[in-house]
Every structure is written in C-alpha cells, then in structure tokens.
C-alpha cells in the first residue's frame, strides 16, 4: 500500500529522532510513534552531553567520534534553538595518582583519534578562573560539546518530515506467519510497516519482549541540580573530576556521584551526575543531591553561595556491557534496535541514526557494528538486576 511507511520507529527521544532523520535522508519513509510527547523520557532529563572525554578506546568511542562529526554538520543545518556549543571538556585530577591514570587514559584515546591536551596545575586557572586551587592538573578535550536535548530531538523530527504519532502506546508488535515484523499495534489502530525500530530507551526491554525477544535493558537513575542564573563565563567548559570516568564504566547498583559542572546559554549551571540502579523509583534522593552539591562546590568554591532552583532526574538505559544495541535483530526479521546507550544517548544519537538507516537499506555501515549486535547477550544476563 502506498501509505505504508518503510519503517515504524518507536520512541520520539533524540535517538528515535536521529533514526528518523537519517532514514529520511536515505530516501526512506518513516512513522514515529511514542506513548508520550517528544523527548518526554530520558532525553528530556538529560544534560545534553556530547562527550568523547569519558570514553576509552573501543566501539563506544568510535561511535562518539562519528557522532562528533555528525553533530557539527547538524549544527550547521538545524536551527540555532538546539543550542549546540563546542565548549570543550576539562577533566581534572585531585592528586598525582589520578593525574597519572588520566594520562594513561588519554594516551589510548589519542591513538584512537581523540584530541587531548594535558594542562599543568598552574595553567588550570587560565581555562577556569573559579576552579578550586590545589588540583594536580588535568586534560582538555576540545571535541566535547553540548546541545539542548529536547530541542535537538524536536528539530531532528521536524527536519525528517516524519509522520509523528504522539500519545500512542505500542501494545504489540505485528508479525506474519513466518515471524517477520509487519508493524505495531496501538490503542488507536495498527501501524503497518516491514520494519520496526526499537528506540524506546530505558523501556527497550519491554518493546523487545513484545516482539518475542530478550534485550536486558535496565534503568539507572540519575539526578541533576540546576542553579539560579549566574554571570556568563563563570564556568567556561564542561568540567568534571577524574572519578566520573570510573563511575561511567562501573556496573555497581549503589549510589555513585561525581560532579560534572557546566554553564548554559541561559546562565544557569547544571550539576550532575549520579548513578544508581533502583528500578523506576522516582523518589527524590536528598542524599544524591547533597553529594552533588558538595562535590560541585569542592570543584568550584564560588558556587557555595549560589542557590539551586530546581532538581530533576531521569533513567539511563543500561546494558550489562555498557554498549548500546544497534542494528537488525537476527531473531526477528524486520526488527531493529537503537537503545541501551546509558548516559551517552544524546551524544551518540547521530551515529546511531546513521547506522540504523544503513541497516534498514541493507547497506554497509560506516563502522563495525559487531560489538553492538542486539543478540549478543545470553538469556540470563540482567536477570539478577
């Protein structure tokens, strides 16, 4: 039928929007369906980080470097409302041991194509005048950047000219007699298509289950503090302590916190990030907020007299090996996945969209997707979470 799209993308966050954008650019027609509004899930609760600085050499860094290039291209074509800022990241070390670890980490990244610059202790103040004294040094990552995530998702969808169906929950995945995908079911009717893309983020396991397969995506809660508007340039880069890198790579279920401090065009300062596996518990954690405030003021003592005007939280879609699931699912013909990015989904969205578009067209992807295969987990992984 002429009105049947080439694919239904489930999820109107930034990853689903990027999939729609690059599929459209590849000549495909898509329908995007979401039970809520645009960026109503993890995307809307994100800080907008586009980072290479926290990723060791490997598949995720390859995705991040590709996305870095794609975000620059998008910033030239999408409206300025996405607030793309190539502000750079500054990772600081409290002592010599941490600096040595950062140096080793940066050496591996540089070999993979990341631009890194070691900053001695006496030059940190040139980059961040309000940074706390006594730090051992740090590394500057000029490729780190930022966007306003909800606006980025909205503008990607607009540029894709996709058929967007909001407020429609997918309650089933339609298949034919051979088990191949033929669309999705919603309370407002069936949406037919020969391909379905699971871009539901933290809820990726539930959508996969509707299709009859297991994908062990689980939620990992995180909080962000927002300060009152402050003078421009108070915090110039995306600044965080070296222990943030270890927290990102950790699989611990316990509360972990390491300050990431950055300014916004509106003048507010965003302070993250915490991680903990508590299911979809939305209870406000005063302990998490206390830790963030203490760590942020340790990095920037000037913030000790600043008011926090609000706090918000979201759920990162976590997979056991810290890599997203991207591409065709060989267990169900016509099913594709684009989820499980944990806290890096906004940064990795363009590369994910490009890879999914290539998979939908049966074309060779621009990088090796073997480590990202959706069927790489056995049936017991994630059961104990």
Query: Which two structure tokens, joined as six digits, stand for 225?
Result: 């503090």
For position 381, what pLDDT does the model report? 60
Q: What pLDDT shows up at residue 1? A: 39
Q: Residue 43: its pLDDT value, please? A: 96
For residue 13, pLDDT over 60 is answered with yes
Question: Domain for residue 79, yes or no?
Answer: no
Q: Could you tell me the pLDDT band of residue 366, with boundaries at 50, 70 and 90? A: very high
Quick one: average pLDDT of 147-174?
97
286, 301, 318: which is the final residue of a domain?
318
Q: Do residues 53 and 139 make contact, with C-beta atoms less than 8 angstroms apart?
A: yes
* Percent of the chain predicted with pLDDT > 90: 89
Is residue 138 packed enough to be buried (19+ CB in 10 Å), middle (13-18) or exposed (0-12)?
buried
Query: Is the confidence at residue 380, as pLDDT, over 70?
Result: no
Q: For residue 84, is it within any domain?
A: no
The verdict on residue 40 lying in a domain is: yes
Q: 28-55: buried (b, 16+ CB within 10 Å) or exposed (e) per residue?
A: bbbbbbbbeebbbbbbbbbbbbbbbbbb
pLDDT at 236: 95
Residue 248 has pLDDT above 70, yes or no: no
State pTM to two decimals.
0.95
Mean pLDDT of 295-324: 95
Burial class (CB in 10 A: 0-12, 13-18, 19+), 6: middle
One domain for residues 331 and 310: no
Domain check: are 242 and 132 in the same one? yes
Does residue 119 lie within any of the structural domains?
A: yes
Q: Based on the domain organization, do 284 and 239 belong to the same domain?
A: yes
Cβ-contact 111, 57 below 8 angstroms? yes
Domain count, the chain: 2
Confidence (pLDDT) at 102: 95
- Are residues 223 and 126 part of one domain? yes
Q: Tell me the CATH number at 198.
A: 3.50.50.60
Are 276 and 356 in a shared domain?
no
> Residue 359 burial (CB < 10 Å; 0-12/13-18/19+)?
buried
pLDDT in tens, 111-157: 999 999 999 999 999 999 999 999 999 999 999 999 999 999 999 99
Give me the pLDDT at residue 40, please: 95
**For residues 188 and 208, what is the distance between their CA atoms, to the nearest angstrom?**
21
Look at residue 81 and tell me if it is in a domain. Answer: no
Domain limits for position 332: 7-48+150-216+321-372
Question: Do 225 and 277 lie in a common domain?
Answer: yes
Collapsing DSSP to helix, strand or coil, 11 comes out as: coil
At 210-226, the pLDDT tens digits run 999 999 999 999 999 99
Q: Does position 379 have pLDDT exceeding 80, yes or no? A: no
Residue 137: which H helix or E strand, with range?
Answer: strand 137-141
Residue 130 and residue 223 in one domain: yes
- pLDDT, one tens digit per residue, over 176-209 is 999 999 999 999 999 999 999 999 999 999 999 9
Q: Which residues lie across from 219 on neighbouring strands?
A: 317
Average pLDDT, the chain: 94
Report CA dihedral (54, 59, 62, 63) to the nearest 10 degrees.
-90
Residues 280 and 346 in one domain: no
User: Could you tell me how far CA 148 lies from the centroid of its own chain?
Assistant: 12
Q: CB within 8 A of 2, min separation 6: which ones?
A: none
- Cα distance between residue 347 and residue 318, in whole Å: 15
What is the per-residue pLDDT across 276-307, written as a single tens digit (0 to 9) for each? 999 999 999 999 999 999 999 999 999 999 99
Give the pLDDT confidence score for residue 272 in this predicted structure.
87
Phi, psi (degrees; rounded to nearest 5) at 3: -95, 10
Using H for helix, E for strand and C for coil, what is the string for 294-327? HHHHHHCHHHHHCCEEEEEEEEEEECCCCCCEEE
115 shares a domain with 18: no
In this predicted structure, the answer to whether residue 361 has a pLDDT above a threshold of 80 is yes
pLDDT of residue 243: 83
- Cβ distance 37 to 167 under 8 Å? yes
For residue 114, what pLDDT is reported?
98
CB 295, CB 69: distance < 8 Å: no
Range of weakest confidence among 44-48, 343-347, 349-353: 44-48
Predicted pLDDT of residue 245: 77
Average confidence (pLDDT) over 261-282: 91
Question: Is 305 inside any structural domain?
Answer: yes
Average pLDDT over residues 300-318: 95
What is the model's pLDDT at position 165?
A: 97
DSSP letter for each residue of 176-232: -TTS-EEEEEETTEEEE-S-EEE--GGGHHHHHHHTT-----EEEEEEEEEEPP--T
pLDDT number for residue 44 = 93
Q: What are the backbone angles phi and psi of residue 27, rounded to the nearest 5°? A: 90, 10
Same domain, 256 and 291: yes
Checking if the pLDDT of 384 tops 80, the result is no
| 229 and 138 fall within a common domain | yes
Residues 95 and 105 in one domain: yes
CATH number at residue 239: 3.30.9.10
Give residue 117's pLDDT. Answer: 98
The predicted structure's pLDDT at residue 255: 86
d(C-alpha 89, C-alpha 81), whole Å: 22
């Amino acid at each position: 039928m002429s009105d049947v799209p080439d694919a239904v993308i489930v999820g109107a966050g930034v990853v689903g929007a990027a999939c729609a954008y690059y599929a459209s650019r590849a000549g495909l027609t898509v329908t995007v369906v979401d039970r809520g509004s645009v960026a109503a899930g993890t995307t809307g609760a994100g800080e907008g980080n586009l980072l290479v600085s926290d990723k060791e050499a490997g598949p995720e860094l390859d995705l991040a470097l590709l996305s870095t290039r794609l975000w620059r291209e998008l910033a030239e074509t999408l409206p300025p409302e996405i607030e793309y800022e190539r502000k750079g990241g500054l990772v600081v070390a409290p002592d010599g041991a941490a600096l040595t670890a950062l140096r080793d980490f940066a050496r591996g990244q540089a070999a993979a194509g990341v631009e890194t610059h070691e900053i001695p202790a006496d030059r940190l103040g040139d980059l961040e005048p309000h940074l706390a004294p006594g730090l051992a040094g740090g590394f500057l990552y000029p490729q780190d950047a930022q966007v306003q995530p909800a606006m980025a998702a909205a503008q990607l969808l607009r540029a894709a000219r996709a058929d967007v169906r909001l407020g429609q929950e997918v309650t089933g995945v339609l298949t034919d007699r051979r088990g191949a995908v033929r669309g999705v079911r919603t309370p407002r009717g069936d949406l037919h298509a020969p391909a379905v893309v699971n871009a539901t983020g933290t809820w990726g396991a539930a959508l996969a289950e509707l299709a009859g397969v297991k994908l062990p995506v689980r939620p990992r809660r995180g909080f962000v503090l927002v300060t009152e508007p402050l003078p421009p340039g108070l915090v110039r880069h995306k600044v965080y302590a070296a222990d943030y890198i270890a927290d990102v790579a950790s699989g611990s279920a316990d509360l972990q916190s390491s300050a990431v401090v950055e300014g916004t065009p509106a003048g507010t300062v965003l302070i993250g990030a915490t991680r903990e596996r508590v299911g979809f518990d939305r209870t406000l954690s005063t302990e998490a907020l206390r830790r963030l405030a203490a760590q942020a003021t340790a990095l920037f003592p000037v913030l000790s007299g600043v008011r926090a005007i609000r706090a918000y939280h979201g759920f990162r879609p976590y997979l056991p090996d810290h890599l997203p699931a991207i591409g065709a699912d060989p267990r169900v013909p016509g099913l594709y996945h684009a989820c499980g990015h944990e806290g890096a989904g906004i940064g990795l969205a363009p590369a994910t969209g490009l890879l999914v578009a290539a998979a939908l067209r049966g074309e060779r992807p621009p990088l090796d997707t073997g480590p990202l295969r959706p069927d790489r987990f056995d049936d017991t992984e994630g059961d104990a979470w």
